[in-house]
Amino acid sequence: MSETVQLSSELQENVTMRPFSIDDAEAVAAAYIRNREHLAPWEPVRPEEFFTAKRQGALIAGKLQRLLDGTEVPWGLFDGDVVVGAVTLTGIIRGPFLSGDLGYWVDKDYTGKGLCTAAVSFAAESARKMGLHRVQASTLLHNTASRKVLARLGFTEIGVAPEYLRIAGKWQDHMLHQLILGN
């Protein structure tokens, strides 16, 4: 790494972005409960256990281990102590590929306010500082809001992946996007 990677940032007034900690499990569970209907069309079908602090704590523990391993960065978006979204850089691969996959969501009450754009921009800049060459993101073809966020930040569409992910209970096509970071 040629630059110091800053993993936390104030994105907007009162909204910060930092890696999740185990202590955030209850707030993450509350955010998923609050946004269950909002996120359902864009995510896999979740078992009831997913919406508990116990399960979120276990998921966060796994993410933190991957953070230590250098293969994932699990950021939360916080308005005070309230989780209002998440951005995760996963599948970080070193060597000649130098790439990672970006996923994100924003609370139903925070959409359309520039928060997602600010968070994805911070994550992409962090990936550049980590020495990655490329970040990829995938969106459902009909997720125009997410596609606009990525286009605004310079991601290019590189093609449709048929039946790419099982979302909302069925295999769905996704548009693949990439951002070349210049490393």
**Sorting pLDDT into bands at 50, 70 and 90, what band is 182?**
confident
Asked if the structure places residue 3 within a domain, the reply is no
Asked if the structure places residue 2 within a domain, the reply is no
Q: How many other β-carbons are positioned within 10 Å of the β-carbon of residue 151?
A: 12
**93 phi and psi angles, rounded to 5 deg:** -120, 130
Residue 105 burial (CB < 10 Å; 0-12/13-18/19+)? buried
**Sorting pLDDT into bands at 50, 70 and 90, what band is 1?**
very low
**Closest by CA position to 134, among listed 180, 70, 183:** 180
Q: What is the mean pLDDT of residues 78-85?
A: 96
**3 state DSSP class of 36:** helix
Mean pLDDT, the chain, rounded, equals: 94
Percent with pLDDT over 70 in the chain? 96
Asked if the structure places residue 116 within a domain, the reply is yes
User: How many domains, the chain?
Assistant: 1
Asked if the structure places residue 1 within a domain, the reply is no
Say what the pLDDT of residue 96 is. Answer: 94
**Sorting pLDDT into bands at 50, 70 and 90, what band is 4?**
low
Asked if the structure places residue 14 within a domain, the reply is yes
Say what the pLDDT of residue 87 is. Answer: 97
Asked if the structure places residue 107 within a domain, the reply is yes
Say what the pLDDT of residue 6 is. Answer: 64
With 50 as the cut, is the pLDDT of residue 58 above it?
A: yes
Concatenate the DSSP letters of all residues of the chain into one string.
Answer: --SPPP--EEEETTEEEEE--GGGHHHHHHHHHHTHHHHGGGS----GGGGSHHHHHHHHHHHHHHHHHTS-EEEEEEETTEEEEEEEEEEEE-TT--EEEEEEEE-GGGTTTTHHHHHHHHHHHHHHHTT-SEEEEEEETT-HHHHHHHHHTT-EEEEEEEEEEEETTEEEEEEEEEEE---
pLDDT (tens digit, 9 = 90+) per residue, 7-47?
A: 767 777 789 999 999 999 999 999 999 999 999 999 999 99
Q: How many other β-carbons are positioned within 10 Å of the β-carbon of residue 159?
A: 10
With 60 as the cut, is the pLDDT of residue 48 above it?
A: yes
Q: What is the mean pLDDT of residues 120-149?
A: 97
CATH code of the domain containing 44: 3.40.630.30
Say what the pLDDT of residue 13 is. Answer: 73
Say what the pLDDT of residue 7 is. Answer: 72
With 50 as the cut, is the pLDDT of residue 118 above it?
A: yes
Say what the pLDDT of residue 2 is. Answer: 42
Domain boundaries, position 141: 9-180
